[in-house]
Amino acid sequence: MDPSQHAQDRNFLEKMAAYIPGFHGYMQREYRRESDQMLRTFMADRLQRSKTGIDGYMQTLIGRGQLDGLDQVERIRTKLDTLIAGLRGAMRGYSAAFEYVKVHESTLEQVYEHDLRLVRDVEDLATRIEELPASDAPPAGVAAEFTRAVDEVQQLFDERGRLLEGMGEK
């Protein structure tokens, strides 16, 4: 590995370790499965914790007498639960796909960049959900905004799976 590639990998690992302590990356085979699992567990746990914001927003709606908006907000929770289940459920599937293969350097860089974007988007989404109880936005607007945001994170996660599948040489 050339020194500039090593520096880029280290920079990525430092950024990821700021979110996920102990994250080792995918270059060394012995850490791939663990790093993959740590990443997805972190994202699933972060989104799970953020759901208190949905509860708080629903309580706000109840307090305002806007009961007709509860179904719309509940759909956000359902989409979020589906995403969380996908993150948790894929833990064994993706890990095995690239554990024993030689890694293409260019693909590894793509995966690193993609993972960092995914973690940042999950963190942003979770923070926005946690801020919902203070929102004056109508339920229909909140539902549309967060449905779109959850769909975007789901799409990024799906793209990650395709990247990992193409990560190795035969």
All domains of the chain in start order, with CATH: 34-169 (1.20.1420)
Closest CA to 43 of 116, 110, 98, 97: 116
Q: Tens digits of per-residue pLDDT, 35-94?
A: 888 899 999 999 999 999 999 999 999 999 999 999 999 999 999 999 999 999 875 545
Residue 93, both tokens: 């599937």
Q: Residue 107 has which token pair?
A: 């693909």
How many CB atoms are located within 10 Å of the residue 148 CB?
Answer: 9
| Euclidean distance between CA atoms 21 and 14, whole angstroms | 9
Read off the pTM.
0.82
